[in-house]
Structure formats: C-alpha cells, structure tokens
Amino acid sequence: MSDLEQRLADLEDQGLRRRMRLVSGPQGSRVVLDGRPVLLLCSNNYLGLAEHQRVREAAADAAMRYGAGAGASRLVSGTMSIHRRLEQRLASFKGTEAAVLFGSGYLANTGVVSALATASGPDTVVYSDALNHASIVDGCRLARAQTVVYDHCDTDHLRWCLEQHTGRPGIIVTDSVFSMDGDVAPLADIVALAREFGVRLVVDEAHGTGCCGPEGRGAIADAGVDPAAVDVIVGTLGKALGSYGAFAACSATMADYLTNTARQLIFSTAPPPPSVAAALAALDLVIEDPSYATRLQANANTLRDALAREGFEVAGASTQIIPLIVGDAALAMRICELAIEGGVFAQAIRPPTVPEGTSRLRLAVMASHTKAELREAAAVLARAAMQAGFRPASGLPVAATQGPASPRHAAA
C-alpha cells in the first residue's frame, strides 16, 4: 500500500474521507443527487438566484457578447467593461467609494489580508477570530506577519490582545456571519476597538451579503455600522448572488493599492464575463426586491422552530445557517446518509473544517424553500438521527462548541 493509499485508509477509519456527490440539473431547492431526488438543504445559493431566469439569461447573453472567458489577468487585458460596471454597482450597494473584483472568495481573502500586512510593515500584527473561514486563516499565513487568534466573538479578549501589542500596526479580520455556526460577529464593538487602537479592519461578508440587513446589504448594515469604518469589506458572488467570484469594497485609495499589490488579483485570470453578468442581474434583483432577505430569514425561523419541536438543540444560530451538532464524525455521516434516503440532503461537516468533537450537519436555508418543505425536512432529520442511534436532544448548542481554542488556525 502506498503512502497515499494509507492516508486515505486512515481517513476512512476516522470517518473523515470525503467524496464528491453529483447534482444533476440546476441548484434549486430540490435537486437530483446521485440519481435520487432530494430537498437541497446545504447549498449556499441562499436566495435561489442561481436558477433565476433573469440571471441565467444575463449569463447567456454575456457569453454571446463578451465570450466565455476574460482571456487575461486584470492588469493585462482581462478587465472588461462588464467588470467595471459590476464593481461600480457593488460599491454603491455596499456604500463604499470603490470595489475590486477577484476570481473567488478564497483569492479575495488571502489577497486582501496578505497585501494589507505587507503595507503595514514587518511589525504588523493580524488579529483573527478563532472561527474565521479557512481562506482568512490562509491569508494570515501568507501575510508572514504575527497572527494573534482571539476567542470567538469575544471582544474582551480582543481588547486584551490589542493591549499586548499597543503601538504596533495591526489588522483585525473577522467573518461577519460565521459559515459553520450561523452566528454573527459583534461588529459595532469590533469597529469601536479598531478605532480606539488605530488598527485596520477587514470584514468578510460572504454569508451576510444579500442575506441580512436592510435590503440585504449585509451584517455591517444590519449592525448600523458606517461602511467607511471598515477598511475592506470582502464579499462573494457565489452564494446569495448565485454566480461565481468575489469582491473587496473599500475606499478608492485602498482599491488602487489592492490592484497594485494583491498577488491573487495580479496573477489570476479575470472572472469570466458570464459569471459577472449573472452577478449583476442577481444584484439588480436583490435591490429591486428587498423581500428576498426577509423571506430567507423567515424560512430560517421556520426551520429552527421545527427542529426545536423535534428536540434538536439549535440555540446560538440566528441566521440562514443552522448547525446540528452531533460530535462524532462517523455518526454525522451516518445521519447524513439516512437523511438522503429520506429525501433530504444535509451535508455532514467534519474536522478539520470544524473542531474535533463538533462534527455536525450544516443546514443552509434558501429563500425558495417552502415552509412545508422545511417542516418535513425537520421530521426527516429527526428520524434519521434516531435511526443512527442519536437522540436529537443530546446534541450540543452552538455556543457550547465555541470554546477559547483556535482549531481552524491550528488545522492543516
């Protein structure tokens, strides 16, 4: 047995081996998964816009007008008029002077954090939430700056960390809505700390844009924070906006700086025109119909209520992301497979994506789900859990899994 085969066998024994599942057709609220029709309850297509007719038509029209790809990086010949148009629309939507498109959320986060750390010099300290997304964690690593990990959403601990490095340039970086736990960062308090200590602030709105706040403008707007108080607002086009790509919304000076220094932008082909056009159409829909975010949150409330009636512990989640904490990785996978047999696809999430002992089913609600579908899904999940030998009431609340450790920074 080769070393690779041995490693795969070890992952299998630990319940951590992954495989790709095949979805046939568009990413709607219902899909055909590996040949089986299921309710899709783990997609980040939160508003259901990936399959919206206007979004599809915009992508198709752009492919005919601009071609299938941009053909070059942004600083060569890859920046096209449609890229600039989307950047202007995103800046207006986020309330900033400018926006810069990146190829993906991963590229945006790694590019922004590493570029800002370079700007501040070798003494820079990056302050990162313990449960930040892996792309932020990797951005901290690429920054080659000292990284201080503060306890999840704990502004008292963040203040203590800042006090230990008073006088050194710094960057606070945090998710707004945390992708695995569904909770929201205390953004107003974090902004106040950034101002008090004179450090920069980067907020990743990947799971907030389109999903919360007035007119779906995100968690920053929902917290009543002035966008100008955040140095860079990172967002994605691949979740609520149903397309692919990402952006950094910021001041004009910051946009110019990122364009000149973010290696992930400089050395990557520009986002393809059909994806950009799709995102533009989706953004128009969100602006025209603010009820998208309202429907999404109403659906999230419906599912949380239904899960609670089935005995699941859902305290701590407050957004469209609802984790059902199981603990054991193999058990989480067993429940996932049984739920699929019952017609519900809720993916099991295991280490290193989440801390050891907190494997879970990560439920992601969509605005296009019906309340009846969500109530039935809760019943299916409860039956699957019982069949797997897990009593829903024995699960941990989200808050109980958010200790002071920093597993995501330590993982990999």
Contact yes or no for 197/229 (Cβ under 8 A): no
3-state DSSP assignment of residue 172: strand
Supply the DSSP string of 73-105, one letter for each residue: BIIIII--HHHHHHHHHHHHHHTSSEEEEES-H
Name the catalytic one among 52, 83, 207, 409: 207
| E-only strand ranges, 206-251 | 232-236, 246-250
CA-CA distance, 43 to 211, in Å (whole number)?
Answer: 14
Query: Tokens 């004009």 appear where?
Result: 252
List of residues 6+ apart from 222 with CB closer than 8 A? 184, 208, 212, 213, 214
| Cα 175 to Cα 113: distance, rounded to the nearest angstrom | 13
Query: Residues near 328 by Cβ (< 8 Å), separated by ≥ 6?
Result: 15, 357, 359
HSE (side-chain half, CA atoms, 13 Å) at 183: 19
The set of long-range contacts for 52-56, using a CB threshold of 8 Å and a minimum separation of 24, is 52/242, 52/281, 52/282, 52/285, 54/281, 54/284, 54/285, 55/242, 55/243, 55/278, 55/281, 55/282, 55/285, 56/278
Residue 174 and residue 410: Cα distance in Å, rounded?
Answer: 17
The length of the chain in residues reads 412
To the query of whether residue 179 is one of the catalytic residues in this protein, the response is yes
> Hey, is 69 helix, strand or coil?
coil
What residue type is 390 in one-letter code?
F
For residue 214, the 8-state DSSP code is G
Catalytic residue among 135, 179, 243, 368: 179
Is 94 an active-site residue? no
- Quickly tell me which residue has 């017609």 as its tokens: 343
User: Which of 52, 94, 152, 239 is the catalytic position?
Assistant: 239
| Beta carbons within 8 Å of 298's beta carbon, 6+ residues apart | none
Amino acid found at 86: L
In a 3-state reduction of DSSP, which class is residue 34? coil
**Catalytic annotation, residues:** 179, 207, 239
